[in-house]
Amino acid sequence: MNSENKKPKLAVLLTQYGATSHGICYCTKFLEGKQFDDHFEPPLCEVVSMHLMEIAANDIGLATAKKHQVPLYPSVATALCRGGDTLAVDGVVIIGEHGTYPLNEKGQQLYPRREIFDQVVSVFRQSGRVVPVFNDKHLSWNWTWAKYMWQTINALNIPWMAGSSLPFAKFEPFVPLPRGKRLDHVIAVGYGGLESYGFHSIETGQNIVENRAGGESGVKSVQVLNGAAVWEAHNQGRWPKDIADAALASLKKPSGKPQDFTRDVFAFDIEYRDGQRMTVLMANGYSQEFAFGYREKGKKEIIAASYFLDEVPRLKHFSATVRALEEMYLSGKPTAPSARTTLTTGILAYGIDSHFQKGVKLETPDLNIAYKPPATYSVAMRGK
């Protein structure tokens, strides 16, 4: 395929394709290209089939498929097989985000990512081969299911990427990642719902902390604080206040003071198996931005930066994500750590359980997920 310079053929599976959905973030860019600050890049892959599980009230998926002459198929299997009996695409894009899916008692939205995954794997098994797959955001709301998905991915050697767009987005100032450095407590800052944007917030921090000396070791425990207890812990030094203050100060459009807000404010307090610590502050009310702060062991300087995320319709911060995915579909190899999203899925699941159990600290013996990020990131990992 690559030697003949043919574009990889993709099947895109979506729960919904509304005017403000992740369908625009991913599928539209695969179809129409990627806009960066100073240039435009045409598509490197070809979308040859789509499956929509729901038609949104503000649906644009039907019109987009018609515009680009992409066939719509009634099921996952027919989309992957393009109406035939065997796998007929070079890559799969799963966008299991948005739609009329209920919430459980913990506030988790029951997106059918595991169900879509199972149908994809069934086609792989039937066809006797696998192709690269991308899964938008965390693997599943159900941690037991997520672990099964990860075990299956490894057992079948599926080239796999998943997760948030934040690890690919621009941060300002353009500070270095702490590759191979021993780190003090890492702080990540985010906002939004505990599950939906808690995941983005955790991956914001994990993208930093995984670069420490020795690489990722896995997580020992997770605890979620909320409300006034977050700022009480902050003032009492449960995490380094100066690093947290620097991360908060890097935000571009804050409102008032962080401690003026307690409603829907959360902190994930995470202890890693090698003794590393990270706190993820979800400073709702104060900000609607993402940021991070860290300091090398034995040094005084604090490195802090915030992310620049633009709005619909261009959503340029997804352009670097799609570029990285295109590289995976072209090369057959993931361009970011596949284990990262499995680990962050578990951190999020334990954090939601901690919050549901009134903020109890939970030991996490099955988060023994160790990995090392690539020694050097592809150019696809950083947008311009």
* Residue bearing tokens 């097989």: 81
Among 20-24, 43-47, 116-120, 189-193, which stretch is predicted with the lowest mean pLDDT?
20-24
Amino acid code (one letter) for 311: E
Q: Which domains does the chain have, with CATH numbers?
A: 9-167+314-336 (3.40.50.720), 171-306+357-363 (no CATH)
**pLDDT value of residue 316:** 80
Judge whether residue 61 has pLDDT over 60: yes
The Cα–Cα gap between 8 and 5 comes to 9
The Cα–Cα gap between 352 and 138 comes to 13
Which CA distances in Å does 250 have to 19, 164, 200, 291, 302?
Answer: 31, 21, 18, 7, 11
Q: What is the share, in percent, of the chain residues with pLDDT greater than 70?
A: 95
The Cα–Cα gap between 225 and 288 comes to 19
pTM (two decimals): 0.94
Question: In this predicted model, what pLDDT tens digit does every residue of 257-303 receive, in sequence order?
Answer: 999 999 999 999 999 999 999 999 999 999 999 999 999 999 999 99
**pLDDT value of residue 309:** 81
DSSP string across 127-191:
HT----EEEEBSS-SSHHHHHHHHHHHHHHT--EEEE-SGGGS-EES-PPP-TTB-BS-EEEEE-
Which residues contact residue 365 at a Cβ distance below 8 angstroms, ignoring those fewer than 6 apart? none
The Cα–Cα gap between 282 and 348 comes to 13
The Cα–Cα gap between 358 and 363 comes to 15
Question: In this predicted model, what pLDDT tens digit does every residue of 222-240 receive, in sequence order?
Answer: 999 999 999 999 999 999 9
